[in-house]
Structure 1
Amino acid sequence: MATFATSDQLLVIIDPAARQTDGESVRIAKDVLSAGAAAKVCLPEGPDEFARALGRRGSRRPVVIGDSRALVRTVALLHRQRELAGCALSVVPVGDSTLAESLGVPGGTVAAARAVLDGAERRLDLLVDDSDGVVLGALGIPPAPMRVTAAQPLHVSVGPPWLRSLVRPLAARPLRLSAVPSPGPTRLRVEVDGETVVDLDQPVETVSVVPGSRGVAEVEVRPLSVGAAATPLLTSGRTVTVTGADFRYRADTSVAGPVRRRTWRVQEGAWGLVLPRHALAGGPAAITDV
């Protein structure tokens, strides 16, 4: 496998949320990338500018500095432009890195930036639904409950003594994280490659679909448990269709719906992600030198 040349030209797109979340990590990533390659840095102020910058990349390799939402947005844009096949995408996670790390990208800023310069491309499968939406990592029905994030601690160093004495105990007290109640069981028909896995007469707790490898998605259906835990139904296939009464679903970082029917199809090797070479050893997906 050939190593990326230092003469490679990069288009570094810094997501606005990353600049607000962790400006220091953004600076470090930019410095590492600029030291290792010819990098053009873009600072879009919103989704429209983000899309324009990506569309005008020319022959430059795109590098996104941002969180999981920025990664999904980039893949979705390239998919809609029908330019995924010829694009080797890189990401340096800043903020929520859960999705990127699950795909093999290092969580640390410096390690992720070095992988952009020294890594190799892995072709990954993609789930595409009948509304042209994409799923990179996981699909969940119903959407998993979200937790309320704690606020940043308060630091009060000015003001009268009575104000500081009042606020200081409040600032030191951790906020309790409360979970949003999970939706109850639902009735869904789940079909994989035209075969019914579960029908509307059987309530289910969850359905999860994950892009596997070589064009096949892994599907898990958990029927409603009464008493002892129900055995999950496991299967795999290239096409997954879910039908039900106004159900919602979580696709990677966002919740969609309600819909009554949705079909997802696996596109094998649809997109390329640059990963560290040690992460590619023995992996099931194809490895391509860029």
Structure 2
Amino acid sequence: MSAAEPPGDGDHQFLVLIDPVARRTDGESVRIAKDVLSAGSHAKICLPDTPEEFIRALSRRGSRRPVVVGDDRALLRAVAHLHRERELSGGALSLIPVGAAPTLELAHALGVPRGAVAAARSALDGTVRRLDLLVDDSDGVVLGRLSIPALPPSREGAHTGVTAAWDTCRSLVASLVRPAPATAHAPPRTYRLRVEADGVLLNDLDRPVEGVSVTTQGAGGLVDVVIHTGQGMTESREAKAVTVSGADFRYRADIHVTGPVRTRTWTVRAGAWSLILPPVAG
């Protein structure tokens, strides 16, 4: 890992953590972000080579405000570490999104600008937005959306460009070497899940469902709980805490798949972390 601290003209004291994947994916955007941040702040630039070095540098930030240059995975790594260290409330994070479009869906959903220049300027001149955090009973965190059970990437819109191209080629080859199946769609798989929201039973094991999704609202201390009952039908409710139990199931928390587990409880922590975002037009 290397670090440099070029002089800046601004009063900001930044620790700029450049994720190694970002450097490999889009070196030009990384260079632009470094130039904009260095011109407007006293920026210490860190180039960790591994996730472990990334975490060590974040732990040694001192009074500097962390600026993450990378994708959703890098942002989640930073938030999860600060949460484990009980330091999330100590200051705001900034994100310069660098990566393939499917790896930045969470960042853009949170309101982070698209493009290195706009995001870097937001880090310099943006406003602090306090956001809710969804925390489970194993100390895992969710910033955006939870899917139970874990849906495959194609249903989450999380294909990378390489994966999507591979799937297209595979489908084309398959269509050439074998006839189309007699039925267009297989019946959806159902699961037996018990779902409670704020202690109220929403679904019990005797009613199979296609799944459950839980989405943070950004701020306000509540999540949207949606039970997918089948044939496109849903039931929804707002809650501060959600418990799901049943046979072993996996769940997708933002971009990470976890499990199998038999029960898990998620609780909203209102305004638990802060992100620097562009000022709200008003």
**Is the TM value for this pair above 0.5?**
yes
Aligned to 1:284: none
Q: Are 1:176 and 2:169 an aligned pair?
A: yes
Aligned to 1:264: 266
- Pair 183,32 (structure 1): closer, same or farther in 2 beyond 3 Å: farther
1:17: Cα distance to partner?
A: 0.8
| Structure-1-length-normalised TM-score | 0.82
| Structure-2-length-normalised TM-score | 0.84
Among residues 113, 138, 157, which one is paired with 2:145 in the alignment?
138
Question: What is the CA–CA distance in structure 2 between the aligned matches of 1:84 and 1:275, rounded to whole Å?
Answer: 17
Q: What's the C-alpha RMSD, in Å, of the aligned pairs?
A: 2.1
Among residues 6, 13, 16, which one is paired with 1:9 in the alignment?
13
Question: What is the CA–CA distance in structure 2 between the aligned matches of 1:182 and 1:135, rounded to whole Å?
Answer: 30
Contact 1:151 1:175 in 2 (8 A): no
Letter in 1 for 2:201: T
**In structure 1, the residue corresponding to 2:76 is in which secondary structure?**
helix
Q: Are 1:275 and 2:281 an aligned pair?
A: no
- Pair 150,57 (structure 1): closer, same or farther in 2 beyond 3 Å: closer
Aligned to 2:34: 30
1:21: Cα distance to partner?
A: 0.9
Letter in 1 for 2:263: R
Contact 1:15 1:65 in 2 (8 A): yes
> Max radius of gyration: which structure?
1
Q: Are 1:61 and 2:54 an aligned pair?
A: no
Q: Are 1:220 and 2:222 an aligned pair?
A: no
Aligned to 1:81: 85
**In structure 1, the residue corresponding to 2:192 is in which secondary structure?**
strand
1:214: Cα distance to partner?
A: 1.8
Tell me, which stretches of 5 or more residues in structure 1 are unaligned? Answer: 153-172, 282-290
Deviations 1:111-139 (A, max 9, x none): 01110001010000000000000000110
**In structure 1, the residue corresponding to 2:36 is in which secondary structure?**
helix
Tell me, which stretches of 5 or more residues in structure 2 are unaligned? Answer: 1-8, 172-185
Letter in 1 for 2:86: R
- Pair 174,209 (structure 1): closer, same or farther in 2 beyond 3 Å: closer
Matches within 5 A, 1:39-188: 39-95=43-99, 96-147=103-154, 149-151=160-162, 175-176=168-169, 184-188=189-193
**In structure 1, the residue corresponding to 2:93 is in which secondary structure?**
strand
Contact 1:12 1:39 in 2 (8 A): yes
1:88: Cα distance to partner?
A: 0.5
1:205: Cα distance to partner?
A: 1.0
Question: What is the CA–CA distance in structure 2 between the aligned matches of 1:174 and 1:204, rounded to whole Å?
Answer: 28
- Pair 108,218 (structure 1): closer, same or farther in 2 beyond 3 Å: same
Deviations 1:177-207 (A, max 9, x none): 76xx998211100000111101111111121
1:224: Cα distance to partner?
A: 2.7
Number of residues paired by the alignment?
250
Larger helix percent = 2
Letter in 1 for 2:202: V
**In structure 2, the residue corresponding to 1:248 is in which secondary structure?**
strand
Aligned to 2:4: none
Contact 1:150 1:177 in 2 (8 A): no
Contact 1:97 1:107 in 2 (8 A): no
1:217: Cα distance to partner?
A: 1.1
